[in-house]
Structure 1
Amino acid sequence: MTETDTDTGTRTTGGAMAARRHGTRPPKALRMSVELPLWRALTGYRILTLVYTACLVALSYRRYAHPLGAAAYMGVLTVWMVLTWRCTTSAERCTRRFLVADLGFAIGGILLTLVVDTHARIMGGGPTLPSIWTAGAVLGFAIKGGWRWAAVASTVVAVANLVERQELARDTIHNVVLVWVASVGLGYVVEVARSSERTLARALQIDAATRERERLARDIHDSVLQVLAMVQRRGAEIGGEAGELGRMAGEQEVALRTLVAGGLVPPPGIRPGGSASGVPRQAGEGAGEGAAVPAGAAPAGDDAGPCDVRALLAPFAGAGVTFSEPGAPVALPPAAAAELAAAVSAALDNVRVHAGAGAHAWILVEDEPHAVVVTVRDDGPGIPEGRLADAEREGRLGVALSIRGRLRDLGGGAEWISVPGQGTEVELTVPKGTAPEGGRRGKAGA
């Protein structure tokens, strides 16, 4: 959902509001309102044209047939401006009643020119009492209601100008057409901008909802789905009542995978029926045991300072996993380090499940100037072409969410290199600070 700040003209997505509720720093607000600058410009226009009109009346004061009438009108118009100048600072303050009253002051001034000015000056093309201030009243209709309102208001002004001039003079027609075209054009532009603004707000809302759904799906994949898969396998091995329990767990796993996969946006680089960039292996088909980050290794919070990635990945080392690290600390923000460790955990879990119990894995940590790169390699059988796309269509989201989705949210990416019979290599990249401009060997999923 989006929330609109009427004073600033900005809208905040649901993700930013959630970040505030959880005490984290929300993303920078995106200014979406195209109307706020227009209202500010209209306010400035009305003030400047009032000053200009007052100067015109002052310079021609002795030429009017009834100069006191002209001065009285300017005094009333000035008071009106002082009392209502804030009405044109935002769409909420600019009501229909105000627009009609403002247009009434303009029309009244045009018609009053017949009384206070001389016939010679009127027929000679002299300015009306409100002069170009009248355009501000018409532009208010254009910004508030679009081109239709602008057409009606400018038509009323045109009729009043023709009545005041008492003939179809060329300069009067020129001014009338100019005001009409300008106001209608501005009204049309405002309508198009509002439509684009609504489309953008809807897109941001869908993007925020999709990212939240992906985050929840990753958590489910790393916990519930893995437990259900384990129960299904163990139940089938034991048999009897345990086998029936395993069968039911398998059914629930399929149903939950279908629910999680529904409505997800396909990660970049993957197309239905095609293969992903880099030809990943079977990682992400299913879930095995132990995909969680090592206990106690998860960093505290963003306030805890930079986290050494080596400390999070070192517990993965064991008889079947070789861990290689630089001699110096590899620092990342705690949240980014935790997501990277979870992605490595998911990659190792896929090695255990799909490469076989005898497969060996290697973890290599590289601290590059602008990114941290972690490579997970195994000596398993590799993967067939297009296997990742097939797994995602079946609702198996290990690569799509637990690996690629995590890194994409951090501005990074993942690349798979696999040769059948020679194992698989997964390269995980997390930028330091901002998203990387490019990637080594064309990283996918960024």
Structure 2
Amino acid sequence: MERDPDDLLQPLWRALVVFRVITFGFACFGVWTRWEGIARPSGAILQLAIMGVWTVLSSIGYSQRWGRRNTRVGFVDLIITAGCMYATLLAQPLIDIRGGASVLTSVWAAGPVLALAISRGRDGGLLGAVTISLVLLSLRGVDNAAKALSNVQLLLISGLVVGYAASTLRRAGVRLRAAIAAESATAERLRLSRSIHDGVLQVLAQVQRRGHSIGGEAVELAQLAAEQEVALRSLMSARPVAAAGGLTDLCSQLLPLATTKVDVVVPAVPVLLPSTTADELVAAVKEALSNVRKHAGGEARTWVVVEDLDDHVLVSIRDDGAGTTPAELEQARVDGRLGVSQSIRGRITDLGGTATVRTAPGEGTEWELKVNR
């Protein structure tokens, strides 16, 4: 069998190939033991020949990557297997089959049920089981349906169980590949971070120190170096967005907001929130930072702190700027400046959370944005 290290379903395909070969042997043995009771032995030999050829072809197909990934192979298998079941009529008259004679395909007919269950999951297994069951019941007849009931039950159970197992393995494979990709990305980020720290960041730090000590136009160069240092450090500390079941890591969205005047402090582990909640919370934080740039003064510094408190998440935005008064905030709302009332409070209220502001002239402003999980 062609090996595919990334395919967790490969053991199931290998088991299917073994199943087809063994059950073909059982069918041959069954014909041999019932040889005297077969009405047309030449028809039985022809049927076994067709089954043998298809066993070889299907085994080759399921042993190759193209056969395992092309779901049409399973449907072709289903059609041919149903035809082989009806080919029993070449060996036994229909009246004999309905009188109790065996369908010569025996358990070999369950092959496409398992193939569709592996390739298409639970629904594929159920489709295959129902199809083979209907073929079996049409041969047995309505009067003998009770005798075929146990076979129908086994087909349905096999299709459902194997389909569920295949779907579980497929989802596990997706998660495994995502974990491997994340681990590789983290390792590469750490390698680049070491290189940047040993080279670029040290140069930028030296430019800052020398620029401030020289003075004059060199101060502007030092400021640019400081901004680039913060940008690089933010890039180095950035984490891949953790997405699982519609959840997003809030921290990964807030870390890029760091500048020379904005410090972002987040927990070491991801803070997962529904994607819509995280987006609205980040938008509110950006509006608060925009207000700092507009009203707090050119030298104001800001600290954004994220706290994960189990049942809710708290984001604090504090600056050391000019500050204001609650009356002035209310007057801004009356005058139609809705940055605070709509872009911050409105967003958090719509999320079912609370937005609290504390401010005073000369003492800066602090926002506390709290949202429930």
What range is the shorter-chain TM-score in?
0.5 to 0.7
Equivalence for 2:170 = 194
Residues 1:55 and 2:29 aligned together: yes
TM-aligned CA deviation for residue 173 of structure 1: 0.6
User: Between Structure 1 and Structure 2, which shows a larger proportion of helix residues?
Assistant: 2
User: Does the C-alpha gap of structure 1 residues 93 and 274 become closer, same or farther in structure 2, counting only changes over 3 Å?
Assistant: closer
CA deviation profile, 1:266-301 (whole Å, cap 9, x unmatched): 9xxxxx66799xxxxxxxxxxxxxxxxxxxxxxxxx
Q: What TM-score, normalized to structure 2?
A: 0.59
CA deviation profile, 1:292-319 (whole Å, cap 9, x unmatched): xxxxxxxxxxxxxxxxxxxxxxxxxxxx
User: Does the C-alpha gap of structure 1 residues 35 and 146 become closer, same or farther in structure 2, counting only changes over 3 Å?
Assistant: same
TM-aligned CA deviation for residue 168 of structure 1: 4.0
CA RMSD, aligned part only?
2.8
Whether contact under 8 Å (2:113, 2:128) holds in the other structure is yes
TM-aligned CA deviation for residue 134 of structure 1: 0.4
Equivalence for 2:293 = none
Equivalence for 2:211 = 235
Whether contact under 8 Å (2:126, 2:160) holds in the other structure is yes
**Alpha-carbon distance between aligned partners in 2 of 1:213 and 1:133, rounded to the nearest angstrom:** 53
Residues 1:9 and 2:19 aligned together: no
Residues 1:223 and 2:199 aligned together: yes
Of stretches 110-119 and 159-168 in structure 1, the one that deviates more from structure 2 is: 110-119
CA deviation profile, 1:121-153 (whole Å, cap 9, x unmatched): 634644311111001121111111112122111
**Alpha-carbon distance between aligned partners in 1 of 2:268 and 2:85, rounded to the nearest angstrom:** 71
Equivalence for 1:148 = 123
**Alpha-carbon distance between aligned partners in 1 of 2:267 and 2:116, rounded to the nearest angstrom:** 53
> Where does the alignment leave 5 or more consecutive residues of structure 1 unmatched?
1-5, 12-32, 267-271, 277-446
Q: What TM-score, normalized to structure 1?
A: 0.50
**Alpha-carbon distance between aligned partners in 2 of 1:133 and 1:68, rounded to the nearest angstrom:** 20
**Alpha-carbon distance between aligned partners in 1 of 2:169 and 2:220, rounded to the nearest angstrom:** 60
**Alpha-carbon distance between aligned partners in 2 of 1:183 and 1:112, rounded to the nearest angstrom:** 24
CA deviation profile, 1:336-377 (whole Å, cap 9, x unmatched): xxxxxxxxxxxxxxxxxxxxxxxxxxxxxxxxxxxxxxxxxx
Which one has more relative contact order, counting CA pairs under 8 Å at least 6 apart? 1
Whether contact under 8 Å (2:114, 2:125) holds in the other structure is yes
Amino acid at match of 1:218: R
CA deviation profile, 1:233-258 (whole Å, cap 9, x unmatched): 12222323333332332232223222
Amino acid at match of 1:85: S
Overall identity of the aligned pairs, in %: 35
CA deviation profile, 1:378-405 (whole Å, cap 9, x unmatched): xxxxxxxxxxxxxxxxxxxxxxxxxxxx
> Where does the alignment leave 5 or more consecutive residues of structure 2 unmatched?
242-250, 252-264, 270-373
Equivalence for 2:8 = 34
Whether contact under 8 Å (1:91, 1:144) holds in the other structure is no
After superposition, residues 15-414 of structure 1 pair within 5 angstroms as 33-94=7-68, 95-114=70-89, 116-117=91-92, 122-123=97-98, 125-166=100-141, 167-263=143-239
User: Does the C-alpha gap of structure 1 residues 219 and 78 become closer, same or farther in structure 2, counting only changes over 3 Å?
Assistant: same
User: Does the C-alpha gap of structure 1 residues 97 and 204 become closer, same or farther in structure 2, counting only changes over 3 Å?
Assistant: closer
SS in 1 for 2:231: helix
TM-aligned CA deviation for residue 96 of structure 1: 4.2
**Alpha-carbon distance between aligned partners in 2 of 1:159 and 1:264, rounded to the nearest angstrom:** 51
Whether contact under 8 Å (1:154, 1:179) holds in the other structure is yes
Whether contact under 8 Å (2:2, 2:63) holds in the other structure is no
Say how many residue pairs are matched: 246
* Runs of 4 or more consecutive aligned structure 1 residues displaced over 6 Å after TM superposition: 273-276
Equivalence for 1:21 = none
